[in-house]
Structure 1
Amino acid sequence: TLHVLDTNVDQFVGIPYAEPPVGKHRFAKPEPISKPFPNIIDATKPKNSCLSPIQLSPDSPLSEDCLVLNIWTTNTTALKPVMFWIYGGGLAAGSIYQPEYNGSALATNDVVVVSVNYRLGPFGFLYGDREDAPGNVGFYDQLLGMKWVRENIHSFGGDRDQITIFGESSGSESVSAHILSPLSKGLFKRAIMESGANMYNKDRDVVNKTKALSQGKAIAKQLKCNETEDWIQCLRRADARDIIKYWDLFDTYPVFGTEFLPIRTQQAFNEKKFNTDVDLIAGITQNEGSSFIKAVIKDPAHMTLTDFNNGIKAFDLLGYHNINVTKVTDYYLKGVNTSSPAALLQSFSALAGDLPLGCPTYLFAKRFAQTVKESQRVYFYELLYKSEWFAKQNNCSATMGICHMSDIPFVFGLPLLDPHHYSHNDIYYSKVVMKMWSKFATYGNMDSDWPQLLNDEPMGAPKVHEYNGTALATNDVVVVSVNYRLGAFGFLYGDREDAPGNVGFYDQLLALKWVVSENIHSFGGDRDRITIFGQSAGSQSVSAHILSPLSKGLFKRAIMESGSVMVNKNREMVTKPEALSQAKAIAAQLKCNESEDWIQCLRRADAKDILRYWNPLATFPVFGTKFLPISARQAFKAKKFNTDVDLIAGNTRNEGTSLTRGLIKDPDHMTVADFYNGIKSFDALGYHNLNVTKVADDYLKGVNTSSPAALLQSFSAFAGDLGLVCPTYLFAKRFAQTVKESQRVYFYELLYASEWFANYSQCNISTMGICHGMEIAFVFGLPLLYPDVSTPEDIFYANVVMKLWSKFAACG
């Protein structure tokens, strides 16, 4: 048992799932274990890695006797989803004992993690065109591993009916092979493909049966097998290392037209002959090809146009047949300075990524999505961020971008296991990715705002646009919604006129002016009766406009739904010096020269690179600026805010429940230590100088601290109060105390939620209560737009809320 991230994780390493594939079993399908082991299996020490010319796991000797698997689980009582990992390595290298595939951190996300060894190179993919050497036996190993899991995983706390297979590189290709294979039908429910798919040349596969057979016989010939004897039996007698010596690492491919892969991928999609009952995530890194250039280009740093053309031709030898060199060159060199080695290298890197990884992965996912249509969920991603530490360990320099394999540390939570070497951003990003992967393994979907591939709307019934203003507009009001810049683009602070910070608020301001000054009357709107309203950060924006002298006279009323910019008593969430240093840190990351204008440097940078280094949790308005000259407390004290406004403000009953899971690693097993650490984590989110002892004493008064459920409830109350409830209530209270009876000020608490909207928003009402955001359904009348999934109570409540809001907008 390991103690990982404050969680006990049971680790079982090297559990055999097949008979040793040696002797007569070399090149043959794996055999299930025929009889019980006489002794207890020692699952505390690594066993063998599968034989390969490359040793990737120093703690595990190489051997043909290698068909074992690892398991990580947090408990064996309640059944949890299973994540079945298939490692990469070109089908010629790799091991479950590689340190980067440590599943312990991922297992703390309430999943059981399994990783499987499978035969590699000639031992896994030599094709003999016969029953006892059918080819693709590495895939058969994975298949038998899956069958073992279905039969046994309940003993380790895993749900056999909730298996997600996932892999990277050739592991991702393996996942695609199981999606295609009739032999894998029904063995898994979901799949994640990270950078790879068995979908290459349109006209023919990388290797056909004839070529694969000749490759196998060529090795037999090299080993002096007599032509009159059985060449497979001769190879079975040969020394394994002699076989490896004559096997081309770069020539390890699956063979189609076989029992495991009876038809080509394109044909399988055309005829709908694949496993269609699977949800899928697929994706790539931004610069897949940069890691492979040296395999085909001798001197990348001094690359020439001739090198570029020869590089394309070299791909033909690697199995990517019939490439039209002229067309490919024209496409990838369009607009490129061909006298610049760096420019040629960048273009060739794009080609080297697209050809073997980017295009196959995307096209596989696209054809899958086109075929299964809405019966399954299909998502696609591109990784735009990397860990500098992991990149350095894998020879991925800054000039190479987001290399192949850059996803591995985040999927396996390596930054949490080794925080000394990884950055805070790495840790945050890893938590996000692990939650996404484990959530998909549990529910089969991503977050509601993640669009499906080929369908810009989330899966589910119904497909919801939360901010659809049509129903609200039937209440005799004109509804306007506005886009504004976000994150770094909306709130990066440069301490200068052309980068003043808060420009997202300036966007809202300009839209208000557009509405007020000259346009809304054309749409039937009264410019003198404008109510601004928003929820969460939108509610904070409303409070900012109430405070800002620049927004004076542009609106008559305001509605703040769960949020305001009134947080710390003693200081703002971010000071001007802090905001400036955050911005300059991004410029430093992007190698902006200290002697140049750093803002201009950031303006020239790729927007995605800026996003990569911006911490989304550190997006705050900056006070002491033109838009917000003084803090909220100072403004109320000096009566320097827009006092001529009527106001509704409010919150939901359980604002904090949606925030808790982002701060507490294992809410279902929460401890007092987690409670204290959770309070401390708010400091990093901008809630400074919290007196942890006083807060804990207040929220734990009378609470059974040995009960995880009671601790979670108290922490949720604290998280909601600190982040949303207190700021909203105190803003409204100070506003009302200052304007007195000159304006109308109301406050509400939402005590009811629509169950279908809650489910759509991943809010379990029975355990999480009336979550943050639950008023949205009623404010926008969604139950009236989606009556088939709404209750009569939902519809009634939406009618009431819309009338309240629209009456306030009309009459104050």
Structure 2
Amino acid sequence: MMANYLAALGPLITVLQLLAAESQKEDIIVTVRQGRLKGLRFESVRGQELLAFLGIPYARPPVAELRFKGPQPPEPWRDTREAIVEGNVCPQRDMMSGAFMGDENCLFLNVFTNKIPECPEQLKAVMVWIHGGSYKGGSGTSMVYGPDHILTEDVVLVTINYRLGLLGFLSLCEVGVPGNNGLKDQVMALRWVQNNIAQFGGDPNRVTIFGESSGGASVHYHLLSPMSKGLFHRAIAQSGSALDPWAYAEPDFLRWKAFTVGERMNCSAAGPHELLRCLQEAGANTIVQSTVGQVFSTSETIVPLRPTREDESQSDEEVFLSGKPEDLIASGKFHNVPYITGVNSREAIIYAEDMQSIPSFWEDSKQHMKSVIADLLGMQNTSQANEIAEMALSYYAGDEILTNKTLTGKHIDLFSDLGFVLGADRALKMQTLLSAAPVYSYLFSFDGGLGLAKLAFHTQLEGVSHADELGYLFHTAISPSVAEESDEMKVLLKMVKMWTNFAKTGDPTPDCDSLLGVKWDPTTKAEHVYLSIDKEVQMRRDLFKERMQFWEDMLGPYIKPYNSTNFCCNKTCSYYVPKDFS
């Protein structure tokens, strides 16, 4: 979601213009498997000379007959390709203006490093960033994910684009479209990294994937996917888990969603074959605008298209996800690599701002919140979902009456827990039971001047919102200057140090470091510890223990999102749309 903030910034000199202004020195040439690339030099906000290679195609353009297909390897080029401008963003709707933006030829990545190596012994740890955006928006742009801070710690940074919305997550398994193409794009990018990153000074045997929101959930999915095996060696999921209720849907739900989009496009589709034909003939603009509804309206789900499990018998493509995430984790079918997972103290602040800005919300705010809770729960039994929603509101807010048309911290905690904290907590506890590699947990609680979401949305609500921590890892086009001795810079330096330590060694605090002043211990079956990241960084235990226990007691086995028992996808079964999804 963060990449679209820039529409509200006005006549801003872009990062890429600044990069181009610094590119007048000797050409920087790197040869990858597809051909020669010309990069550029630039000076970071930290005063360091860096090298950038922008808009590198890692797959063939997914257009024409390749729309709705898995990604294909990139084609070679003859002449030296200028890698000095970022590639197209994938088709999406700008979250500020609502206008269509992007191009289907969008499978590009960017590589940032501080030096091209002279010998293999100089290879550095690699960090591959997967952006968030509810699987419907965002990109790997350096306007939001600038490398300035991370590269002070001598690593190689890669940022990627991947297909979004219906173009990235259409699932019609009856006609050979199993879904998850956006995640398969990410796999193709990771394969490109394995084949080429050494040319930029990166070590293909020390690759860390990290991401936030749906990018964080994507990171978690790569731990569960057979396609991703061996492509990375550590993982960091920020504010996103495959067990978050918005991060997964059963194939039946996605089939229903595809037909809903088709109806909005006036497709005369009696079945999946006709629908696919209509979608293949439509323009990307029409598909995008027909997919995305109003967030938090009672007729829309918060994340319209999502990852799903695949039926390998219905497609000749590789299977990214063979089962439900919770089943795969419970059976130990995940890659044993060092893993960091965590959340911010009040994730739902920016969503609360969206929710309460809808005029109809205040006509019956309690009923509207119950509808959102029921949607997040994803339960097919509507009356049961409504009952749980009523009890949740009572538990968190009691008899509190909303005044001044403003949601309180208690309501924000409710939506933060249900939308983000609970999924991360469940995954953490399940994986620590079975993982042979260390699993680390954190809570980011520093409410400072570099919080990205608060800078973009100008919210004054107390707490650390979803995406705020990004301002302490990346330089952005809206990041203010902060003094070296400020609390903001101190927290930024600690975050960058721990994240890059982890990328280099698999341990965020491998040595006694006066900057950090703490040893980050992994979570275990017996010790549910986490790192509290605030002005002071310290170990604590049992994150939001009472609140998490409430949800575990309340939901029990029903917490599995979109739990469907009638998934049917073969040539002999009839088309099915669950009544609860209509």
Task: Answer yes or no: same fold by TM over 0.5.
Answer: yes
The correspondence of residues 304-383 of structure 1 with structure 2, limited to 5 A, is: 307-317=365-375, 320-321=378-379, 323=385, 324-334=388-398, 337-338=400-401, 345-372=408-435, 375-383=436-444
| Conserved 8 A contact 1:86-1:174 | yes
Cα distance per residue 1:337-396 (max 9 Å; x no partner): 446669962211111111111111222122112211xx2111111111133254542225
- Please state how far the C-alpha of 1:449 moved relative to its aligned partner: 1.7
- Please state how far the C-alpha of 1:252 moved relative to its aligned partner: 2.0
- TM (norm. structure 1) is 0.52
Instruction: Find 2:267's aligned residue among 224, 231, 248.
Output: 224
Match of 1:62 in 2: 102
2:413 maps to a residue whose letter is A
Relative to structure 1, the CA distance from residue 615 to residue 256 in structure 2 (aligned partners, 3 Å threshold; closer, same or farther) is closer
Cα distance per residue 1:255-307 (max 9 Å; x no partner): 124432111122112211122x2111111111101111244445799979x52
Instruction: Find 2:351's aligned residue among 289, 292, 301.
Output: 292
| Conserved 8 A contact 2:178-2:310 | no
Relative to structure 1, the CA distance from residue 234 to residue 355 in structure 2 (aligned partners, 3 Å threshold; closer, same or farther) is same
| Conserved 8 A contact 1:121-1:252 | yes
Structure 2 CA distance for aligned equivalents of residues 159 and 224 of structure 1: 49
Structure 1 CA distance for aligned equivalents of residues 477 and 270 of structure 2: 55
- Please state how far the C-alpha of 1:327 moved relative to its aligned partner: 2.5
Relative to structure 1, the CA distance from residue 226 to residue 377 in structure 2 (aligned partners, 3 Å threshold; closer, same or farther) is closer
Instruction: Find 2:507's aligned residue among 432, 445, 451.
Output: 445
| Conserved 8 A contact 1:303-1:345 | no
Please state if 1:11 is matched with 2:39.
no
3-state secondary structure, aligned to 2:77:
coil
Relative to structure 1, the CA distance from residue 615 to residue 131 in structure 2 (aligned partners, 3 Å threshold; closer, same or farther) is closer
Please state if 1:26 is matched with 2:87.
no
Please state if 1:45 is matched with 2:85.
yes
- Please state how far the C-alpha of 1:196 moved relative to its aligned partner: 1.0
3-state secondary structure, aligned to 1:108:
helix
Match of 1:109 in 2: 153
- Please state how far the C-alpha of 1:244 moved relative to its aligned partner: 1.3
Instruction: Find 1:94's aligned residue among 119, 128, 138.
Output: 138
- TM (norm. structure 2) is 0.72
- Please state how far the C-alpha of 1:220 moved relative to its aligned partner: 3.0
3-state secondary structure, aligned to 2:408:
helix
Cα distance per residue 1:692-735 (max 9 Å; x no partner): xxxxxxxxxxxxxxxxxxxxxxxxxxxxxxxxxxxxxxxxxxxx
- Please state how far the C-alpha of 1:39 moved relative to its aligned partner: 2.1
| Conserved 8 A contact 2:402-2:408 | no
3-state secondary structure, aligned to 2:92:
coil
Structure 1 CA distance for aligned equivalents of residues 535 and 484 of structure 2: 14
3-state secondary structure, aligned to 2:487:
helix
Match of 2:455 in 1: 393
3-state secondary structure, aligned to 2:149:
helix
Q: Which protein has greater RCO, CA pairs closer than 8 Å, 6+ apart?
A: 2
Structure 2 residues without counterparts, runs of 5 or longer: 1-40, 294-302, 312-318, 510-517, 539-582
- Please state how far the C-alpha of 1:177 moved relative to its aligned partner: 0.9
| Conserved 8 A contact 1:55-1:62 | no
Instruction: Find 1:212's aligned residue among 210, 233, 254.
Output: 254
Please state if 1:192 is matched with 2:236.
yes
2:344 maps to a residue whose letter is T
| Conserved 8 A contact 1:396-1:403 | no
Please state if 1:180 is matched with 2:238.
no
- Please state how far the C-alpha of 1:615 moved relative to its aligned partner: 11
Match of 2:445 in 1: 384
Structure 2 CA distance for aligned equivalents of residues 100 and 152 of structure 1: 25
Structure 2 CA distance for aligned equivalents of residues 291 and 223 of structure 1: 34
2:455 maps to a residue whose letter is Q
Structure 2 CA distance for aligned equivalents of residues 70 and 16 of structure 1: 9
| Conserved 8 A contact 2:484-2:490 | no
Relative to structure 1, the CA distance from residue 271 to residue 98 in structure 2 (aligned partners, 3 Å threshold; closer, same or farther) is same
1:266 maps to a residue whose letter is E
Please state if 1:240 is matched with 2:293.
no
Match of 2:330 in 1: 270
Instruction: Find 1:454's aligned residue among 521, 524, 548.
Output: 524
- Please state how far the C-alpha of 1:428 moved relative to its aligned partner: 1.8
Relative to structure 1, the CA distance from residue 382 to residue 205 in structure 2 (aligned partners, 3 Å threshold; closer, same or farther) is closer
Structure 1 CA distance for aligned equivalents of residues 123 and 350 of structure 2: 40
Match of 2:321 in 1: 261
1:454 maps to a residue whose letter is T
Cα distance per residue 1:540-566 (max 9 Å; x no partner): xxxxxxxxxxxxxxxxxxxxxxxxxxx
Structure 1 CA distance for aligned equivalents of residues 362 and 146 of structure 2: 38
- Please state how far the C-alpha of 1:111 moved relative to its aligned partner: 0.8
Match of 2:547 in 1: none
The structure carrying a bigger helix percent of its residues is 1
**Aligned residues: CA RMSD:** 3.3
3-state secondary structure, aligned to 1:37:
coil
2:390 maps to a residue whose letter is T
- Please state how far the C-alpha of 1:217 moved relative to its aligned partner: 2.7
Match of 2:6 in 1: none
- Please state how far the C-alpha of 1:56 moved relative to its aligned partner: 8.2
Relative to structure 1, the CA distance from residue 302 to residue 225 in structure 2 (aligned partners, 3 Å threshold; closer, same or farther) is closer
- Please state how far the C-alpha of 1:424 moved relative to its aligned partner: 2.3
2:340 maps to a residue whose letter is I
Structure 2 CA distance for aligned equivalents of residues 415 and 243 of structure 1: 30
Match of 2:34 in 1: none
3-state secondary structure, aligned to 1:165:
strand
Structure 1 CA distance for aligned equivalents of residues 82 and 258 of structure 2: 37
3-state secondary structure, aligned to 1:69:
strand
- Please state how far the C-alpha of 1:456 moved relative to its aligned partner: 8.0
Cα distance per residue 1:222-258 (max 9 Å; x no partner): 3334547643233111111111121135312111244
Match of 2:192 in 1: 148
3-state secondary structure, aligned to 1:49:
coil
Structure 1 residues without counterparts, runs of 5 or longer: 460-607, 617-812
Structure 1 CA distance for aligned equivalents of residues 251 and 406 of structure 2: 39
Please state if 1:72 is matched with 2:112.
yes
